[in-house]
């Protein structure tokens, strides 16, 4: 992957890591999934405005279909992740979901013909290890069978998002059409699900500015991921983007002064080595 592509991948991880960090703070004052609807609505509004301004041509049906699949994957990833987190062992849940979500695009990339160097393969392996280290629970943790299944499903959903967005762009979808359609699909599914279960509620006014920033960082993350994908392979783009837990940990250390565990520090260092290997021309 080109240095520019690596930069876009890191920007993706930082954007989504920021969204995760802010989403966690909002979820403490609301229900987690109820946070998805307003933040996704903001993200969709931003995407539509940009789409109108840049006037991207209407993409082929195949590109739209892949973007819709990405939106379905995003909904599954978010809903299953939030549900899994309620079963306990948050670190283990995040670790399983992140590794599965990053691993599926690697498999898909091999099927679609991604050409990886030895340095790329080593970097991808280290990047997956970094995810596990960063999300590893500090103390003893027990994960139920339900939690394991939900975490795996969340990872599958994230993997489908990566694959769907990458394939949509490759099919001529551009940048903002896939983003707008994926957010439309995710928002629609979340709205229907929450309305049916009675979980839909208006967030407190005090968190509206934060929800706006979450929507913005979510859109930026998707845009950076698509840009990274144009500079290299789906496998590498997804793996670098999946380092967002490290970005969340660093933000927590800077903003809320949370101490980083040794495993998290090791994970961040391993991630840096992995990215350096991937960036080798």
pLDDT digit of tens for each residue in the chain (281 aa)? 777 888 888 899 889 888 877 876 666 666 656 667 788 888 899 999 999 999 888 899 999 999 999 999 998 888 787 777 666 556 667 777 888 888 888 888 777 777 777 888 888 888 888 887 877 666 555 567 777 888 889 889 989 999 999 899 888 888 899 999 999 999 888 888 777 766 666 667 777 788 888 889 989 999 999 998 888 778 888 888 888 877 777 777 787 776 777 877 888 888 888 888 887 66
| pLDDT given at position 224 | 92
Q: How many structural domains are present in the chain? A: 1
**In 10 A of CB 267, how many CB atoms?**
25
**In 10 A of CB 250, how many CB atoms?**
17
| pLDDT given at position 281 | 63
Q: Are 165 and 226 in contact (CB under 8 A)?
A: yes
Give the single-character DSSP code of 88.
S
Distances (CA, A) of 22 to 30, 176, 208, 209: 13, 24, 12, 11
| pLDDT given at position 173 | 86
Distances (CA, A) of 44 to 39, 50, 66, 81, 193: 9, 10, 17, 21, 18
Cα separation, 120 vs 235, whole angstroms:
9
The vertex-242 CA angle with 119 and 278, nearest 5°, equals: 15
| pLDDT given at position 199 | 63
| pLDDT given at position 280 | 67
Say what the pTM is.
0.84
DSSP result, 100-149: HHHHHHHHHHHHHT----HHHHHHHHHHHHHHHHHH--SS-----HHHHH
| pLDDT given at position 61 | 93
Q: Are 241 and 16 in contact (CB under 8 A)?
A: yes
| pLDDT given at position 274 | 85
| pLDDT given at position 180 | 93
Q: Domain of 258?
A: 3-278
Q: State both tokens at 205.
A: 């006014």
| pLDDT given at position 67 | 94
How many Cα atoms occupy the beta-carbon half-sphere of 236 within 13 Å?
Answer: 35
Residue 130 makes CB contacts below 8 A (sequence gap 6+) with 243, 246, 267, 268, 270, 271, 274
Q: Are 259 and 111 in contact (CB under 8 A)?
A: no
**In 10 A of CB 253, how many CB atoms?**
15
- Going along the chain, which residue ranges are E strands? none
């Amino acid at each position: 992957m080109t240095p520019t592509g690596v930069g876009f991948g890191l920007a993706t991880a930082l954007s989504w890591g920021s969204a995760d960090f802010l989403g966690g703070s909002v979820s403490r004052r609301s229900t987690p999934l109820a946070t998805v609807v307003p933040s996704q609505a903001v993200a969709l509004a931003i995407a539509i405005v940009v789409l109108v301004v840049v006037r991207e041509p209407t993409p082929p049906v195949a590109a739209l279909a892949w973007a819709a699949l990405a939106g379905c994957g995003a909904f599954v990833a978010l809903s299953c992740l939030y549900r899994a987190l309620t079963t306990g062992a948050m670190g283990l849940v995040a670790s399983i979901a992140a590794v599965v979500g990053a691993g599926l695009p690697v498999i898909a990339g091999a099927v679609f013909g991604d050409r990886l160097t030895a340095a790329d393969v080593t970097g991808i392996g280290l990047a997956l290890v970094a995810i596990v280290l960063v999300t590893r629970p500090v103390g003893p943790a027990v994960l139920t069978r339900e939690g394991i299944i939900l975490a795996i499903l969340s990872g599958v959903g994230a993997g489908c998002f990566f694959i769907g967005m990458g394939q949509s762009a490759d099919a001529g979808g551009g940048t903002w059409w896939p983003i707008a359609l994926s957010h439309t699909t995710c928002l629609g599914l979340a709205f229907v699900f929450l309305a049916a279960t009675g979980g839909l509620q208006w967030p407190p006014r005090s968190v509206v500015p934060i929800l706006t920033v979450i929507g913005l960082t979510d859109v930026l993350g998707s845009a950076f991921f698509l840009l990274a994908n144009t500079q290299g392979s789906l496998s590498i783009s997804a793996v670098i983007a999946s380092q967002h837990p490290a970005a969340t940990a660093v933000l927590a250390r800077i903003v809320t002064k949370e101490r980083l565990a040794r495993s998290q520090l090791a994970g961040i260092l391993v991630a840096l080595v992995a990215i350096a290997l991937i960036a080798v021309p």
